[in-house]
């Protein structure tokens, strides 16, 4: 089983701004649906799905023709997404990887060609890892090239599922910081997709409203694809740290501390969970992670997709954590939990 988890907490926040009531309001039905509405909606959904699949395949082919490693890796990702029975709407919550479909010959060929050209291009290697339906030889080699390119970064080492877990954890602990290069990769993906704009039919709204703008669509599609991010599976990390020797527990505590300062909220959550399993929790850091997760549900504007696009365009924002801080600040929500706030128990 692929040892990754969805990392799109911003996707979750954006999706929470979409309500059935809003869709009903835009349709002018006041909540009452004609008996034929279900059939019409089904046909409309099928049309959207067909348009999206055609766009994904068409864009994949155009990117692959460049024969450049990043484009080839993204092309494989798009081709695999198009093969999924129901490609997600851009910005939807994705609980399982959109690439969780066995790679066909076309996607495998593109990934192999990308791997042969990737070298020390970190984004190309991250996309090769993200494009794997499991951590195969191509993705493991990509993780090694990433580690070679950024020798102080723990992120690629935590993806080395070909290593025994204790060796992986020890190697990761010896590095100085954790950087998933999440935003650099996401921005590149958005720009690559924006160069191949989707037509209005592909960008059609599920609520019957106006289609997304071309750049908004490219942004949210990149986010949706990349929400199955190169984040290591929690169970393997937690299991390795729980059963660790005293020496390895020192490494795990160091790792947990680094993850609590990492560049994505999901990795901070994993760091907090590992610390709790080691009976060495940083109580304030754990509260801060829980507060950020809770507060993000309130910080997203009604036009969440446009809000995210604008913030992603702001190059002064370097990480997901900084983007979330801006969203919270704009919404007037404190960055740290109030003194009397306690995390939910479930």
Check if the beta carbon of residue 194 is closer than 8 Å to that of residue 214. yes
Helical ranges in 84-228 per DSSP H = 105-118, 122-130, 137-149, 165-173, 182-194, 214-226
- Asked if residue 345 is part of any domain, the answer here is no
Question: Which positions ≥6 away from 262 have C-beta within 8 Å?
Answer: 178, 179, 180, 268, 271, 321
Instruction: Give the DSSP per-residue string, 16-66.
Output: TT--HHHHHHHHT-TT---TTHHHHHHHHHHHHHHHHHHHHHHHHHHHHTT
- Asked if residue 1 is part of any domain, the answer here is no
- Asked if residue 239 is part of any domain, the answer here is yes
DSSP state of 159: G
* Per-residue pLDDT in tens (0 to 9) along the chain, 346 residues: 233 333 344 443 444 443 333 333 333 333 333 444 444 556 777 888 888 899 999 999 999 999 999 999 999 999 988 887 654 444 443 333 434 444 578 999 999 999 999 999 999 999 999 876 667 889 999 999 999 999 999 999 998 888 998 899 999 989 999 999 999 999 999 999 999 999 998 888 766 678 888 999 999 889 888 765 456 677 788 888 887 688 888 888 888 888 988 998 888 888 888 888 887 667 888 888 889 888 888 887 777 788 888 999 999 999 999 999 999 999 999 999 999 998 877 5
How high is the pLDDT of residue 91?
43
- Asked if residue 268 is part of any domain, the answer here is yes
- Asked if residue 179 is part of any domain, the answer here is yes
Q: Give the C-alpha separation, 215 to 157, whole Å.
A: 34
- Asked if residue 230 is part of any domain, the answer here is yes
How high is the pLDDT of residue 147?
96
- Asked if residue 96 is part of any domain, the answer here is yes
Number of domains observed in the structure of the chain: 1
Domain interval for residue 200: 9-330
- Asked if residue 346 is part of any domain, the answer here is no
Residue 237 burial (C-beta neighbours within 10 Å; 0-12, 13-18, 19+) = buried
- pTM of the full structure: 0.81
């Amino acid at each position: 089983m692929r040892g990754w988890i969805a990392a799109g907490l911003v996707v979750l926040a954006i999706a929470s701004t979409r309500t059935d009531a809003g869709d009903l309001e835009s349709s002018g039905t006041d909540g009452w649906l004609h008996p034929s509405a279900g059939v019409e909606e089904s046909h409309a959904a099928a049309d959207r799905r067909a348009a999206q699949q055609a766009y994904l395949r068409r864009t994949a082919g155009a990117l692959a023709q460049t024969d450049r490693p990043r484009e080839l890796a993204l092309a494989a990702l798009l081709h695999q997404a198009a093969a999924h029975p129901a490609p997600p709407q851009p910005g939807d919550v994705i609980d399982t990887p959109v690439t969780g479909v066995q790679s066909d010959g076309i996607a495998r060929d593109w990934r192999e060609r990308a791997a042969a050209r990737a070298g020390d291009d970190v984004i190309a290697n991250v996309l090769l890892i993200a494009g794997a339906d499991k951590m195969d030889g191509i993705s493991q080699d990509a993780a090694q090239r990433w580690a070679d390119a950024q020798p102080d970064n723990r992120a690629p080492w935590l993806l080395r599922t070909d290593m025994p877990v204790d060796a992986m954890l020890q190697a990761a602990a010896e590095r100085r910081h954790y950087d998933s290069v999440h935003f650099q990769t996401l921005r590149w993906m958005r720009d690559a997709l924006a160069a191949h704009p989707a037509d209005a039919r592909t960008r059609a709204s599920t609520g019957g409203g106006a289609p997304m703008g071309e750049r908004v669509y490219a942004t949210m599609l990149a986010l949706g694809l990349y929400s199955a991010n190169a984040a290591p599976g929690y169970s393997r990390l937690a299991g390795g740290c729980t059963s660790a020797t005293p020496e390895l527990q020192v490494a795990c505590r160091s790792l947990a501390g680094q993850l609590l300062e990492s560049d994505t909220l999901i990795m901070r959550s994993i760091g907090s969970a590992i610390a709790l399993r080691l009976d060495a929790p940083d109580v304030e850091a754990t509260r801060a992670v829980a507060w950020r997760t809770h507060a993000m549900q309130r910080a997203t504007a009604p036009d969440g997709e446009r809000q995210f696009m604008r913030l992603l365009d702001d190059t002064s924002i370097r990480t997901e954590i900084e983007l979330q801080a801006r969203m919270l600040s704009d919404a007037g929500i404190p960055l740290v939990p109030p003194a009397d706030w306690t995390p939910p128990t479930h």
